[in-house]
Amino acid sequence: MEALAKLRNCPMSARKMRLVVDNIRGKSVDEALNILKFTNKEAATWVEKLVLSAIANWAAKADSASPEDYRLFVKTAFVDGGSVLKRFRPAPHGRANRIRKRMNHVTLVVENKVKLEE
C-alpha cells in the first residue's frame, strides 16, 4: 500500500531542494530520516517533516498496523518548480534589477515492502 505526502509552495528554489531529495529516493524510511537529520541544508528540515507526514498518512490508511513492522521505503520523491514572486531592486543609473523568489512543490510516496494482511 502506498501513502502520499505533498509539500506545496515551499519558499526555496527547486534546484536546492532536489539536492536533498535525490539522497533519500529509494531508501528505507529509517535510513532516509537518518540521512536528513545529519544533512546540513535547510531543505533537509522541510523534507524530514514531509517524510514523517507520509509515514503518518500510511499509518492512517493501514488502520491499526504499525509502520515499523512493514519496512516502509521511499518509493518516489520528486521536486517541481512552483510559482515565482517577482520583485525589483534599484540598480545604478536609474535602472532596476529583477529578483525572482522561487518556490517549489515536493511530492513523496512511501510504500511497504512486507505485504499487509487483510
| Burial class of residue 102 (count of CB atoms within 10 Å of its CB; 0-12, 13-18, 19+) | middle
CA dist., res. 82 & res. 6, Å (int): 13
Q: What is the percent of the chain with per-residue pLDDT over 90, rounded to a whole number?
A: 85
Whether residue 63 has pLDDT greater than 90: no
pLDDT the model gives residue 102? 97
pLDDT the model gives residue 118? 58
Answer yes or no: are the C-beta atoms of 23 and 37 closer than 8 Å: no
CATH of 2-112, one of 2.60.40.60, 3.90.470.10, 3.40.50.300, 3.60.15.10: 3.90.470.10
Residue in 82, 25, 16, 28 with CA at minimum distance from that of residue 55: 28
Whether residue 86 has pLDDT greater than 90: yes
pLDDT level of residue 50 (50, 70, 90 thresholds): very high
Q: Where are the domains of the chain?
A: 2-112
pLDDT the model gives residue 69? 85
For residues 92-100, give the mean pLDDT: 97
- Per DSSP, the three-state class of 48 is helix
The pTM (predicted TM-score) of the whole model is: 0.91
- Per DSSP, the three-state class of 76 is strand
